[in-house]
């Protein structure tokens, strides 16, 4: 077995958004880094895939103006937000069996912009509007019990049934990939506070202009290589080397890379496999092995002509399909992306059945009556951890009981659900702690 001579490089296992974030924040402070990614391309669960000759994503992602850490890391690597993201004021249209609810936030300070959006919303009765505005502070200000679900929170804070069905439930599923009946109320409150209570721009919707690879992972890799980071793709770490409860290196193939600082930035099940042999991490292994997971299905439909959905992003409250996106903003005017988050009957459908279900939902709710000429179905069976109250008790801190070993990933204790922002936050937090010398 051959050992590397670079004993001072911080090793990061995983080139997803958390690992890239950690690497960027360390390299930006001139800390030597070795980044090891098992796949040939970076990005993890937010990466580019091909739909015929078109670059799309393994899932339709959006961001919010509240994603400060995401926007910060783009700035660090020299990516212009306006070039890769289209920033739109909060505007939601959700269609269901009882009509359509639509609201747009005016350019006023937060949270006044949201309250006025409700006041002027279409599809809500005067009673719905008054009830929502009167109970808004209860919704975000009530200290939810640790075991409280989003559904519990809606009931105890007196939310309108129609607003809950058309807005809070779709937003919960979109943000947390977990149904309100089991989703953590505390995490949902964190999302609402960050999006609606600080700055008006925090509620802006940021839609990628390009595929996810071009948005962040590839520019990040280029920047890291330019900073002298040792990037290894298509390489898998098989073992963490330790001595006297301290990290000494990692094994990759027939080589050992020596290091005293390690960040495990993989998904939780891969992390569990790596740490299982390490006695001091047995409780961590037990906790992260208890996570349950939620799927996300994304269906791309290609049409023979431009689809021209208006608005370009629409929610469907009473259909299997939950959100549909006109991809013309990514220069794909003939493509629709449909998203179905969390578990449901769609999980047992064949690809053909799922495509037909989505097509039927689109025809029932929009003016688009054409049949697609091609389709692509992407299922992420373990897209995110299930963001339940119990899961909050299992989420680990960045620092582990193994000296020199840190965790990064959207499943760590960020307070956020499994989002792009959560992944970026976790990587930054691990890097900051290493930079501060926060070791036992």
In this prediction, residue 59 carries a pLDDT of: 83
pLDDT, tens digit (0-9, with 9 covering 90-100), for 1-23: 233 334 469 999 999 999 999 99
pLDDT, average across residues 398-403: 98
Q: Give Cα separations from 292 to 150, 287, 391, 395 (angstroms).
A: 18, 11, 8, 12
pLDDT band at 205 (very low <50, low <70, confident <90, very high): very high
Measure the CA–CA gap between 400 and 287, rounded to whole angstroms.
12
- Domains detected in the chain: 2-58+211-291+388-435 (3.50.50.60), 90-203 (1.10.3110), 293-385 (3.90.660.20)
pLDDT band at 142 (very low <50, low <70, confident <90, very high): confident
Average per-residue pLDDT in the chain?
A: 93
Q: How many helices (DSSP H) and strands (DSSP E) are in the chain?
A: 16, 21
Exposure string over 43-54, b if 16+ CB within 10 A, otherwise e: bbbbbbbebeeb
pLDDT, tens digit (0-9, with 9 covering 90-100), for 208-242: 998 888 899 999 999 999 999 999 999 999 999 99
pLDDT, tens digit (0-9, with 9 covering 90-100), for 68-113: 999 999 999 999 999 999 999 999 999 999 999 999 999 899 999 9
Measure the CA–CA gap between 173 and 295, rounded to whole angstroms.
11
3-state secondary structure of 74: helix
Q: Give Cα separations from 264 to 22, 37, 232, 301, 404 (angstroms).
A: 10, 11, 15, 36, 11
pLDDT, tens digit (0-9, with 9 covering 90-100), for 334-358: 999 999 999 988 889 999 999 999 9
Cα–chain-centroid distance for residue 102? 25
- Residue 312 in this model has a pLDDT that exceeds 50: yes
CA angle 16, 18, 21 (to 5 degrees): 105
Sign of CA dihedral 395, 398, 400, 406: positive
pLDDT > 90 fraction of the chain, expressed in percent and rounded: 87
Measure the CA–CA gap between 394 and 391, rounded to whole angstroms.
5
3-state secondary structure of 100: strand
In this prediction, residue 3 carries a pLDDT of: 34
- Smallest CA-to-CA distance from 6 within 220, 229, 222, 226 is with 229
Q: What share of the chain is helix, strand, coil (3-state, %, to 5)?
A: 35, 25, 40
- Residue 60 in this model has a pLDDT that exceeds 90: no
The residue written with tokens 């689809």 in the block is 307
Q: Give Cα separations from 329 to 42, 161, 212, 325, 335 (angstroms).
A: 24, 33, 13, 9, 10
Cα–chain-centroid distance for residue 340? 14
pLDDT, tens digit (0-9, with 9 covering 90-100), for 403-413: 999 999 999 99
User: Is the CB of residue 234 less than 8 Å from the CB of residue 18?
Assistant: no
- Smallest CA-to-CA distance from 208 within 340, 10, 58 is with 58
DSSP state of 151: H
Q: Which residues contact 253 (CB under 8 A, 6 or more apart)?
A: 235, 238
Most confident of the following: 40-44, 198-202, 236-240: 236-240
In this prediction, residue 212 carries a pLDDT of: 86
User: Is the CB of residue 203 less than 8 Å from the CB of residue 113?
Assistant: yes
The packing angle between helices 17-27 and 68-76, to 10°, is 50
Query: What's the token pair of residue 393?
Result: 């008790």
- Residue 159 in this model has a pLDDT that exceeds 50: yes
| Residue 345: burial class (beta carbons within 10 Å; 0-12, 13-18, 19+) | exposed
- Residue 40 in this model has a pLDDT that exceeds 80: yes
> What is the pairing mode between strands 293-302 and 237-243?
unpaired
pLDDT, average across residues 361-383: 96
In this prediction, residue 8 carries a pLDDT of: 65
Q: Is 306 left (phi over 0), alpha (psi -120 to 50) or beta?
A: beta
- Smallest CA-to-CA distance from 9 within 35, 29, 37, 42 is with 35
Query: What's the token pair of residue 94?
Result: 């959700």
pLDDT > 70 fraction of the chain, expressed in percent and rounded: 98
In this prediction, residue 2 carries a pLDDT of: 33
């Amino acid at each position: 077995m051959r050992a590397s001579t670079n004993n001072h490089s911080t090793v990061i296992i995983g080139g997803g958004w958390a690992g890239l974030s950690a690497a960027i924040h360390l390299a930006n402070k001139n800390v030597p880094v070795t980044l090891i990614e098992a796949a040939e391309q970076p990005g993890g669960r937010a990466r580019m895939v091909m739909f015929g000759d078109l670059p799309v994503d393994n899932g339709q992602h959006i961001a919010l103006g509240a994603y400060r850490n995401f926007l910060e890391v783009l700035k660090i690597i020299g990516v212009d937000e306006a070039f890769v993201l289209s920033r739109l004021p909060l505007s939601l249209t959700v269609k269901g069996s009882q009509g359509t609810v639509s609201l747009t936030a005016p350019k006023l300070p937060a949270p006044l912009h949201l309250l006025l959006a409700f006041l002027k919303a279409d599809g809500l009765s005067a009673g719905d509007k008054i009830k929502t505005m009167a109970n808004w502070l209860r919704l975000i200000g009530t200290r939810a019990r640790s075991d409280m679900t989003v559904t519990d929170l809606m009931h105890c804070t007196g939310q309108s049934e129609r607003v809950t069905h058309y807005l809070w439930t779709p937003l919960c599923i979109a943000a947390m990939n977990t149904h309100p009946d089991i989703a953590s109320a505390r995490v949902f409150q964190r999302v609402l506070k960050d999006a609606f209570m600080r700055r008006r721009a925090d509620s802006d919707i940021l839609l990628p202009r390009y595929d996810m690879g071009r948005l962040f992972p590839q520019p990040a890799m280029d920047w890291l290589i330019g900073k002298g980071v040792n990037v290894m793709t298509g390489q898998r770490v098989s073992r963490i080397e330790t001595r006297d409860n301290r990290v000494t290196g990692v094994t990759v193939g027939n080589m050992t890379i020596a290091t005293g600082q390690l960040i495990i930035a993989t998904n939780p099940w891969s992390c569990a496999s790596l740490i299982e042999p390490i006695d001091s991490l047995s409780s961590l292994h037990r906790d992260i092995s208890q996570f349950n997971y939620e799927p996300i299905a994304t269906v791309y439909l290609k049409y023979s002509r431009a689809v021209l959905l208006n608005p370009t992003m629409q929610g469907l409250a009473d259909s299997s399909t939950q959100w549909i996106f006109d991809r013309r903003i990514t220069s794909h005017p003939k493509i629709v992306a449909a998203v179905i988050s969390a578990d449901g009957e769609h999980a047992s459908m064949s690809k053909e059945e799922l495509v037909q279900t989505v097509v039927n939902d689109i025809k029932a709710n929009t003016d688009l009556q054409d049949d697609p000429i091609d389709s692509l179905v992407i299922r992420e069976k373990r897209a995110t951890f299930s963001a339940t109250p119990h899961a909050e008790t299992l989420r680990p801190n960045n620092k582990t009981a193994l000296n020199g070993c840190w965790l990064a990933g959207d499943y760590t204790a960020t307070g956020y659900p499994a989002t792009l922002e959560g992944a970026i936050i976790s990587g930054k937090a691990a890097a900051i702690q290493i930079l501060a010398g926060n070791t036992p």
